[in-house]
Amino acid sequence: MRKKDTDHILSKEILNTREAAALLKVTTQTIKNYIYSGRLQAIKTPGGHHRIRRQDLQSIGFVADDSKGLQSLSRDDLWAAYSGLLGTFIETVEALIKALDMRDILTSGHSSRVAEMCCAVGTHMGLRDKDMQDLRLAALLHDVGKVGISDSILGKPGRLTEQEFFLVKKHCEIGEQIVSGVDYLRNVAPVIRHHHEFYNGKGYPDGIGGQDIELNARIISVADAFDFLRSDLSFRAPLSVPDTLNEIQSSAGAQFDPRVVDAFVDVVRERSHQVH
């Protein structure tokens, strides 16, 4: 943009989306996204157009500098700020999940272990950065809905009755409802809902199958089962790693996505070779 145009826009207190986009060097659609997501305040004209106060642009990375007037933050500064906030967000989620895991004494540390395994499988399968972030968060939060299940059921030593299992199954929908109010977790909510779906459509809560189940939910499903089978529970001893892998492979195509099972087995075998 020419300096004359910039000065003209800077002289205005109220901007339209095109002028705001020109100042921030982004597209008008990006400005609209900021508005729709609530990150940027705007008012609507009677004709339905957005108007933005120039000072409100500071909330999305437009800074005032006494010596130079207004200028936008560099991409590096914005990226550093974004990464810092994202890191804090993930740490906060991890702290909350630790509290949840401590409540469910039978499976302490389960969510963290599942998240760690999911990340390894996601990397092996070549997931993109954003999908990996969503996978990590979904894996950490997959059982967050268990906060809505009573202690007497969660901590029950031994097998659950049919009625108790019916209540436990509700944790998928409760978890989805808990995170659905968080804009950053909008891709995570359906994954939490579907982490107990089966590849053959015989899981819960919706009975969907195959590719209709989000890939991240299919990955969590395998890691979740692996960690469960490897856990020392009061009613049975933990399975060995080879027995657990056999068990999971025998359910490929039924409970689990065969492609995910292959990747999972590769990751676990690579790790056991590194240990020995």
Q: Which helix (H) or strand (E) holds 211?
A: none
Least distance to Fe ion from the beta carbon of 192, Å? 9
Distance CA 86, CA 64 (A): 24
Nearest Cα to Cα of residue 114 among 132, 136, 95, 134: 136
User: Does residue 104 touch Fe ion according to CB under 5 A?
Assistant: no
Contact region with Fe ion (CB under 5 A), list: 6-14, 19-27, 38-46, 135-143: 135-143
Q: Provide the angle, in degrees to the nearest 10, between the axes of the packed helices 258-275 and 241-250.
A: 170
The owner of tokens 């690579």 is: 270
Least distance to Fe ion from the beta carbon of 134, Å? 17
φ, ψ (nearest 5 deg) of residue 50: -85, 140
Distance CA 30, CA 159 (A): 52
Least distance to Fe ion from the beta carbon of 196, Å? 6
Least distance to Fe ion from the beta carbon of 23, Å? 47
Count residues binding Fe ion (CB under 5 A).
Answer: 1
The answer to whether the beta carbons of residues 40 and 79 sit under 8 Å apart is: no
Closest to Fe ion by CB, 24 or 115:
115
Nearest Cα to Cα of residue 192 among 258, 248, 82, 118: 118
Q: What share of the chain is helix, strand, coil (3-state, %, to 5)?
A: 65, 10, 30
Closest to Fe ion by CB, 54 or 142:
142
List 19, 56, 101, 143, residue binding Fe ion (CB under 5 A): 143
**Burial profile 187-213: b = 16 or more Cβ within 10 angstroms, e = fewer:** bbbbbbbbbbbbbeeebbebebeeeeb
The residues with which 14 forms a beta bridge, in sequence order, are: 53
Contact region with Fe ion (CB under 5 A), list: 43-51, 91-99, 142-150, 241-249: 142-150
Closest to Fe ion by CB, 169 or 259:
169
Distance CA 187, CA 82 (A): 18
Closest to Fe ion by CB, 79 or 166:
166
Closest to Fe ion by CB, 56 or 143:
143
Closest to Fe ion by CB, 119 or 225:
225
The answer to whether the beta carbons of residues 140 and 176 sit under 8 Å apart is: no
Least distance to Fe ion from the beta carbon of 264, Å? 17
Least distance to Fe ion from the beta carbon of 110, Å? 9
Least distance to Fe ion from the beta carbon of 199, Å? 16
Range 145-204, binding Fe ion (CB under 5 A): none
Residue nearest to Fe ion (CB): 143
Closest to Fe ion by CB, 143 or 197:
143
Binding site for Fe ion (CB under 5 A): 143
